[in-house]
Amino acid sequence: MRHMKSEAKSVLEREIGEQPDAIARTVESCAREIDLLARDVRARDITGVMIAARGSSDNAGVYAKYLLQAFNGLPVMMATPSLYTFYHKPPRLRNIMVLGISQSGQSEDIVEVMADARRQGALTAVVTADGASPMAGQADHALLLKTGPEKAVAATKTFTASLAVLAALSAALEKDAARMSGVKELPERAARTIALSGPAAAARAERYRYMQRCVVISRGFCHGISMEIALKLKELTYVTAEPYSSADFLHGPMAMLEPGFPVILIATSGVLLSHMTEFAGTLQERQSEVIAISDSKDILEKGITRLPIAEGAPDWLSPVLAVIPGQLLGLHLAIAKGYDPDSPRGLRKVTVTR
């Protein structure tokens, strides 16, 4: 076990702080290629999307699934890479766009999904930080993340930059200038969220030093964020953190709740807020230890620990902000537990699967 001195900034903490600038650079740099991809989607009468990704990028894909279905009317499926690499039985891809998401663009199974899409003549696009990667080489359109090098093992700025690109693509597909303006406001709101949640996460992390298990719950556009925050806690703190939709949690897992059981609740303003407020009340009745991530005062007041995000973002953009308090909690909890957040045990920066 390597102890990180709390007064020394880790690489991970610096990269969390770089997210506002990384988002701004990426959205500006990708604007032209996003427009070209949107035109191609319309010209080729694309009727569905298949997303190929792993790890944090897969969680970004869940966000894209909600976006592209809700705003663009495109049915979205998640790729099953083993059908390509082991079973050799890929699905037919007529009128389908295949979208690969990978920070490194190196994973063999995702590259094979993209390569097969090219062989079938499907429209291919990738979101990646490496334009020279094998995955980018299989793309008709490469949306490149301008995050600068990400050295910490746990992905942060590449994740939020990916979400911002996906949000911009959804807006561009509908030529919706108002939604695109919202995307461009994300950097300032991300900076405010870091300022709001950073001190709170640092101050409260010690309370959870001996936490061994928890659940992370959200619903709707933030569902992929519950998955990402759970992943960050597993990577950085080795806590058994399980993500759930609030609806799924009511169908059985609710039985886990007992006084003091930690529940990280992500609930942002929008159509689901009243449902999530009611759900938070149920957690209080069960005497759960609620860690609230929200822009809503009502939700935050139901939390024993309160991690606020900047107000004003529409619910479809709130995931870009809501993940940040989870990143900060993972960082500071790792330090509280005496772990090095830059070097999680048994992990390396690029994971290659087949």
Beta bridge partners of 127: 101, 143
> Taking a C-beta distance cutoff of 8 angstroms, is the pair 269, 295 a contact?
yes
> Taking a C-beta distance cutoff of 8 angstroms, is the pair 108, 354 a contact?
yes
Give how far Cα 185 sits from Cα of 24, 178, 318, 354, Å: 9, 11, 12, 38
3-state helix, strand, coil in the chain (%, to 5): 50, 15, 35
Q: Give the rounded distance of the alpha carbon of 333 from its chain centre.
A: 19
Cα–Cα distance measured from residue 334 to residue 344, given in angstroms and rounded to the nearest whole number: 9
Per DSSP bridges, beta strands 141-144 and 289-294 are: unpaired
Helices and strands in the chain: count of H runs, count of E runs? 13, 10
Catalytic center residues? 349
Cα–Cα distance measured from residue 269 to residue 299, given in angstroms and rounded to the nearest whole number: 10
**Residue at 13: amino acid letter:** E
